[in-house]
Amino acid sequence: MAKEPDRTEPRIKAGITAHLRHSGGEGDARVLDVSSRGMLAMMSDPPPRGEYVELTVGRHSLVGYIQWSDRKRFGVRFRERISVSALISGGAGPLELSKSRAATMRRGGLLTALAMDAQSLGRFAQFAFLVLVVGAVGYLVASFAGEGLASLEEAKSALAASSD
C-alpha cells in the first residue's frame, strides 16, 4: 500500500457535488475533502493523471490538474490557492486567495485562515450585539422619561385642581 503523502496543511472534509469537465468528457464528481491547494474527489470514470480539468462547485469554477488517479478516486491540484471556507459555503464571493492571505496560510496553515474568517464573523457579532444593547438602553430611557413626564403632568393637574 502506498504511503500517504506529507501534507503542508490539513484537509477539510467536504462531501459536496462538483461538475467536472476534461478532454475525455464531463460528469458529476463527489468532493471528499479539500485544502487551499487541492482536493480529493471520486467519480465513476475519473480522468487520467496529468490531465487538466475544470470543476464547477456551486457558483465557483476551479481549474487544476489531476495529480493522481485511481479506479474511482483522484486528486486535483488547483492552479491558484483557494479559500476553503468560500468553496464549502457556496457563497458568491471570490474564491482565490489574495497574496497576503495565501502567505498567512503558508505560515499558520488552513486553520489560521479559517480563524481569520471566524474573527471577522466575531467582530460583526460584537457590533450587532452592541447595536442591540444601545437600542434597548435607548428604549428603556425613553420609556422611563415618558413615565416620569406623565407623573409630573398628574402632579401639575392635581395642584391646579386643588388651587381652584
> What integer pLDDT is reported at residue 100 of this predicted model?
47
> What integer pLDDT is reported at residue 49 of this predicted model?
94
Strand partners, 52: 65
49 contacts 35 by C-beta, under 8 angstroms: no
Task: Estimate to the nearest angstrom the gap between the alpha carbon of 75 and the chain centroid.
Answer: 23
> What integer pLDDT is reported at residue 1 of this predicted model?
46
pTM, two decimals, is 0.54
Mean pLDDT per 10-residue segment, the chain (164 residues):
59 89 92 91 93 89 92 92 80 58 52 56 75 86 75 75 70
H/E stretch holding 19: strand 12-22
HSE-CB for 102 with a 13 A CA cutoff? 10
